[in-house]
Amino acid sequence: MALSTLSGDEQRIIFSHLCNVLDPGIAVAFSSASSELWAQTQAPRQQLRASHEAAAALGHKAGKRSCKELREARTFESLISFERRGDLSLLKGLSSDDLALLGKLGSVLPALEELRLHEPTAGPDGMSRLAEQLGAGALPAVTKLCTGGTHLGDAGASLLAAALGRGALARLKILRLNGTGIFDPGLVALAPALRRLPALETLDLRGNKLGDEGLAALVTPPPPAVVAPPTTGVLTKLKELDLGYTQITDAGCATLAAAIDGGVLRALEWLFLKGTPASVAVKATLWRVGLVVVMV
């Protein structure tokens, strides 16, 4: 169909679908097909340019020299630098706005496999804003997400669960959320989405204030509804579970033992319970052939 036969609305719709903040050239070339279309897309082109510049600035914080390098990157980790001012060292990392932008870019980072976010300067809502912006199928190649010391909290855990429910991070194998401010309600919200991750092998929840209730939600799947198909694939590939320095007690250990004996955690090889209130004697009862329990 010739471009001239399309209505102005149809042309603008095509333009919007061609917009990629990391590769704006295609959209710009399309808008130059006619003077009329060029005029119609002036405002969105300006917005595209501003978004492209913002993405480039974000990439520079991760050591990427261009948007093309960011688009093709397999790893993303901000370059935290120190600036000396007298006797003060100012930590510079990603801001809350940066993390929100990174979430928006999730659909145009098809090569990204590893995402490391240790961002104490991002504020209490940085990770929540990232999770909220992850659209359906975002970050399709990411197998490793590590964040430590960056606040997620229970509200952020719920938003991350919603993102996983939309199909974001579908290939995730390693998830490290140590010291991110998650309590029982956060893990209860996140647990169903984690259980549906087919490739999850490592789950690190170290240093969060979650306890037995959250753990039960994770390892004890609810009975299937009468009209729903039988539950399949509940943490079947999980090899490492780190619950160190959480609030897991003897009751939580009993829940773990039942899950292991019930085959829910049949691939588990490493279980970390160091620094938890559970007694050493009860922790020792979790030992199974092929399972290493780190207790102290």
Q: Does the residue 84 lie in any domain?
A: yes
Supply the DSSP symbol for 152. -
CA angle 163-167-172, nearest 5°?
90
> What confidence category does residue 122 fall into, taking pLDDT thresholds of 50, 70 and 90?
confident
242 - beta bridge partners? 204, 272
Encode pLDDT of 2-15 as tens digits. Answer: 555 666 667 667 76
Residue 266: CATH number of its domain: 3.80.10.10
Q: At a CB cut-off of 8 Å and minimum separation 6, what does 200 contact? A: 172, 173, 175, 194, 235, 237, 238
pLDDT at 106 over 90: yes
Q: Does the residue 18 lie in any domain?
A: no
Q: Does the residue 187 lie in any domain?
A: yes
In the chain, the number of structural domains is 1
For 289, the domain range is: 75-294
The string of DSSP codes covering 102-151 is: HHHGGGG-TT--EEEE--GGG-TTHHHHHHHH--TT-STT--EEEE-SS-
pLDDT reported for residue 201:
98
Q: Does the residue 289 lie in any domain?
A: yes
What pTM was estimated for this model as a whole? 0.87
pLDDT at 83 over 80: no
pLDDT at 74 over 80: yes
Q: Does the residue 222 lie in any domain?
A: yes
> What confidence category does residue 32 fall into, taking pLDDT thresholds of 50, 70 and 90?
confident
Q: Does the residue 22 lie in any domain?
A: no
Q: Does the residue 38 lie in any domain?
A: no
The string of DSSP codes covering 260-273 is: HHTTTTTT--EEE-
* Position 220, amino acid: T
Q: Does the residue 285 lie in any domain?
A: yes
pLDDT at 231 over 60: no
pLDDT reported for residue 81:
45
